[in-house]
Structure 1
Amino acid sequence: MTQGNSKLKRQRGAIDTLPSGAMRVRVHAGIDPLTGKRHDLVEVIPPGPTAARDAEKARTRLLSQVDEKRNPRTKATMNQLFDRWLEVLDVDVQTRRGYVIKLDKHVRPVLGKLPVAKVDTELLESFYAMLRKCRDRCGGQRFVQHRTAAVHECDGRCGPHKCRGLADSTVRQIHWILSGALARGVKWNWLAINPADAADKPPLPHPDPHPPTAAEAARLVNEAWKDPDWGTFVWCAMNLGARRAELCALRWDDFDLDNSVVVLRRSLFVDDDGELKEKDTKTHQQRRIVLDSETVAVLEEHHGRCVERAQALDYELPANAFVFSTGPVGDVPLVPDTATQRFGRMASRLSISSVLHSLRHYSATELVTAGVDIRTVAGRLGHGGGGATTLRVYAAWRSEADQRAAATLAARMPPRPRPAGQ
């Protein structure tokens, strides 16, 4: 009997009978890397005639997970994983802000309190399906959706909730945020495998850019030129194809108008405190863009206006003054959101369906249509990958380009056979 008891003590794992008759299986799985405390795998078997046999099977299964290193390594929650991941994440401020917003708004309310070990592929796919169905995760419940959580008088913007799912592109971004956090958890031994690796995510959206037509572009420029400063901004947005944050960050010493070139080296962003700051470009690369003679003339006229405004206040315009500025001496840059809103109002007045970013589409599309090679277009827009992004996203199909392609192909075709007698 003593010998039999010693064999049981040498067994790994413990099986205890609870007062309810259920059996609790406990297997040591190492030290929790987050808390430094003992980490056990625990499973409770309901009472019944087969409870003892089922408990032994569970013990064997849990031991196998530990031996094969497939077991969860911590009792940490997803919120704890997100917090730790964000501490070590090396991305720029804007990207981090985007991650935090999506986590706080969509992910933490649903998954945040769950143990990391409970998050599997099935749960992630169910979560994505829920977001695609309703971004407010209503679960089919009816309620009044108010325009703000603050105390207010309801108006036409408050009313019965209507389900609106997140766009596939947003759900994909959430998937990659989760995948990145869980991958770091695997690296830290918080969990054995990354469940996001096997989860199905929405497909890449089909790019469908809508740049303004040549006629619409002309109307936009003419309308903008009622204010020459604003007209210069819209002209440069069309001609340079630069991002709005890059345009707003331009300084006069970025230009060499004598040699008709500009170097895009910075962009603007709003930090966590709401302050407008400068950083490098989205691709972290400077790019040199050649200017045509008309654009040089537009910029020279704009520079003259800036100099006159500064001199009227007995100031000399600094060489590094912002090109597009709300201050008389070029010390305050145009805010990117302000430019976007002003362009939207202008397009709306003209009954043109367009946004400021569409001018970037316009620039790329017109260059491709004119026969400029993709690498050159990609270089002007600041794209990598040999121009793949430029061709896939920004180069909208143009009928005149397709007509030229058809004519070129027809000219190289061999003569078609003629029926006998013709």
Structure 2
Amino acid sequence: MAAGKRRSRGHIEELPSGSFRAIVFAGVDPLTGRSRQLKETARTRKEAEKALTKLQRQVDENKQPKSSITVGQAVAQWLEVADLQPTTQERYDDLIRLYVLPTFGQLQAGKLDAELLERFYARLQRCRTLCTGRPRPGHECRPLSASTTRKVHYILRAALDRAVRWRHLGVNPAAIAQAPAPSKAEPDPPSADEAAAILNEAWRDPEWGLLLWLTMLIGPRRGEISALRWHDVDLDRATVWVQRSNTQSKAGVVEKSTKTDRKRRVALDPHTVDLLRTQRDLWISRLSALGVEFESSGFVFSPSPDGRTPYAPRAISQRYRRLAVRLKLRSTRLHSLRHYSATELVAAGVDIRTVAGRLGHGSGGATTLRVYAAWVEDADRRAAATIATVLPQPRPAVRRAGPYELLAAALRQQIQDGTLPPGAPLPTMAELAVANSCAVGTAHRAVSLLREEGLIEVARGRRAVVIGPRPAHTTGP
């Protein structure tokens, strides 16, 4: 039986311009199913042959990795050793199942390159189903957000980086590919009227109202307010320690460290201390009625009668969303209350490092400054207005007229009052200098000024003659 015809690795074609183009077959595009080609144009055939050899070598390097591992296998091996939080693990599993495996799962990892990945990211941001862009009945393109697309990039980069470290690949193409730019953070805090409406409505249930009050006051993340225990609250010193956070996965609620792995102490005002003391007394009376002793390890906010079970973070978000929808707020996100705390502090002129410390930002204020820059600008403008009222207002110095200006003023007065009538000659420069005890140059500058004003006429070789004051401009018949 005759052997099947083998595809040509590449060829050179002559262009109408007289140049030559080297074309090399580079496999099948997994996004479109079409053949991929590498092309390079040269001025002569000899240069085109060199380009052809170079392109073939480039394809060979990509096609001959150190092993035949696929992208799906590389991702699976990375997940076995990756140290991920439960919620992060679940989120990554969903992204891998929805986007990575359907597109690249069976593709040999060595055939992946930066161009392919960047086109993949661009198509995801146009339509998350990677449609062709042609209208289809019942289909509406829904783009994938930049932040989610960046997570997909991170998964691929981390998995292939591990494959390089384990000598399955020679290079990591995802390390060269450029991920989509992160979207700009836009805080969406409630207005003063909305904040008042939230608290008034929430305080129908005092415990729920106190939870939202604390969220507005100290700006904790939802997992941090969920994990708050009574031993974290020091009513005598009016402080709260935020040192743990609850995360919710399919396995349930799990307690862990905060997002930045740092605990922080936040000061409280006297009114909030009174509210928390009332809440603690309420828990003590509840537990006493049940015959249970109050323990400081109990949660400040708990749906269980004994206070030993925290609210699930998602349950807090969902309850707030229902409240926000009922009040017709602009934002229905619980996180907007954290923005409220930050923006109010920044707008009040509190320094950025203090605000960052209360919020638990781990970048020394850089994150706070980047997210809340608009409110910092407003505070800066108020600071500028304040310092302007404190500083003594300077009195501008009055400029004294020069000698030539004084001489010109005296001559101008004589012309205007008729002492020097029209047609009268001015004294010579020497006479003006002697009469006014000034230099001849000063007299020249005074005469030049009067000429510019149109009061005198100066001709070469003759004395200056008075023209007269300018007549006033009149209108009408």
> Shorter-normalised TM-score: what interval?
0.7 to 0.9
Q: Quick check: 1:119 aligned with 2:112?
A: yes
SS of 2:365's equivalent in the other structure is helix
Match of 2:383 in 1: 405
Would the alpha carbon gap of residues 88 and 123 (structure 1) be closer, same or farther in structure 2, given more than 3 Å must change? same
Cα distance in structure 2, aligned partners of 1:413 and 1:162:
64
Instruction: Please name the residue that 2:18 is paired with.
Output: none
Alignment CA distance shift 1:367-1:118 (3 Å): same
Distance 1:100 1:221 in 2: 38
Q: Relative to 1, partners in 2 of residues 1:291 and 1:64: Cα closer, same or farther, differing over 3 Å?
A: same
> Secondary structure, in 3 states, of the residue corresponding to 1:166?
coil
Residues 318 and 329, structure 1, Cα contact 8 Å, conserved in 2: no
Deviation at 1:402, TM superposition (A): 4.9
Residue 169 of structure 1: CA displacement? 1.8
Aligned pair partner of 1:292 in 244, 260, 269 = 269
- The one-letter code sitting in structure 2 at the alignment partner of 1:234 is L
Find the residue that maps to 2:209 and give its secondary structure: helix
Matched, 1:19 2:12: no
Please give the secondary structure, in 2, of the residue aligned with 1:386: coil
* TM-fit CA distance, 1:339: 0.9
* 1:222 Cα deviation after fit: 1.2
2:296 equivalent among 319, 325, 330: 319
Question: Quick one: structure 1 residues 87 and 310, their matched pair in 2 at CA, closer, same or farther if it must change by over 3 Å?
Answer: same
Quick one: distance in 2 between partners of 1:416 and 1:164?
A: 64
**Deviation for aligned residue 1:272:** 4.2
2:370 to 392, 412, 417: 392
**1:348-367 map, 5 Å:** 348-354=325-331, 355-367=333-345
- The question of whether the paired residues in 1 share the 8 Å contact of 2:240 and 2:266 is answered with yes
Correspondence for 2:210 among 201, 217, 232: 232
Distance 1:420 1:292, change over 3 A: same
Is 2:67 the partner of 1:90? no
CA shift for structure 1 position 61: 3.5
Structure 1 letter corresponding to 2:94: I
Cα distance per residue 1:192-248 (max 9 Å; x no partner): 222122223221212211111222212211111111010010001111110000101
1:64, 1:162 → 2: CA distance? 40
User: Secondary structure at the residue paired with 1:181?
Assistant: helix
| Aligned mate of 1:223, from 186, 193, 201 | 201
- Structure 2 spans left out of the alignment, 5+ residues: 10-25, 28-48, 401-477
1:140 Cα deviation from its structure 2 partner: 3.5
Shift of 1:387: 0.8
Aligned length: 359
Q: Which residue of 2 aligns with 1:134?
A: 127
Moved beyond 3 Å, runs of 4+: 20-25, 56-66, 140-144, 408-421
Q: Which residue is 1:101 aligned to?
A: 94
Name the residue aligned to 1:79. Answer: 72
Percentage of identical aligned residues: 46
- How has the CA–CA distance of structure 1 residues 244 and 313 changed in structure 2, closer, same or farther, with 3 Å as cutoff? same
The residue type paired with residue 282 of structure 2 is R
Residue in 2 that maps onto 1:188? 166
The verdict on how the C-alpha distance between 1:174 and 1:315 changes in structure 2, with shifts beyond 3 A counting, is same
Task: Please give the secondary structure, in 2, of the residue aligned with 1:200.
Answer: coil
Cα offset for 1:406?
4.0
Q: Please report the TM-score for the alignment, with normalisation by the length of structure 2.
A: 0.68
In structure 2, the residue matched to 1:305 is 282
- Quick check: 1:209–1:396 contact (8 Å CA) kept in 2? no
Equivalence map 1:20-59=2 (5 Å): 20=4, 22=6
Q: Does 1:199 align with 2:190?
A: no
Partner of 2:153: 175
Secondary structure of the residue aligned to 2:364 is helix
* Amino acid across the alignment from 2:186: D
Question: Deviation string for 1:17-58 (max 9, x for gaps)?
Answer: x82364999xxxxxxxxxxxxxxxx99xxxxxxxxx99x969
1:121-173, Cα deviation, whole Å (9 max, x unpaired): 111011101100111223346667xxxxxxxxxxxxxxx22101011122122
* 1:238-259 deviation line (CA, Å, top 9, x unaligned): 1111000010111111111111
State the AA in 2 paired with 1:127: F
- Report SS of the residue matched to 1:385: coil
Unaligned ranges ≥5, structure 1: 1-17, 26-41, 44-52, 145-159
In structure 2, distance between residues paired with 1:137 and 1:62: 28
In structure 2, what is the Cα distance between the partners aligned to 1:330 and 1:193? Answer: 54
1:385–1:414: structure 2 CA closer, same or farther, 3 Å change rule? farther
Amino acid at match of 1:91: L
Conserved 8 A contact 1:368-1:395? no
1:273-321 deviations in whole A, cap 9, x for unaligned? 3x11111111111111111111111111111222222222222222211
CA shift, 1:271, in A, is 3.5
Q: Which amino acid aligns with 1:391?
A: L
Between the aligned partners of 2:300 and 2:246, the Cα distance in structure 1 is 13
Match of 1:266 among 244, 269, 284: 244
CA–CA distance in 2 between the matches of 1:191 and 1:291?
A: 55
- Given that 2:240 and 2:265 are in contact with CA atoms closer than 8 Å, whether structure 1 keeps it comes out as yes
CA RMSD of aligned residues (A): 3.1
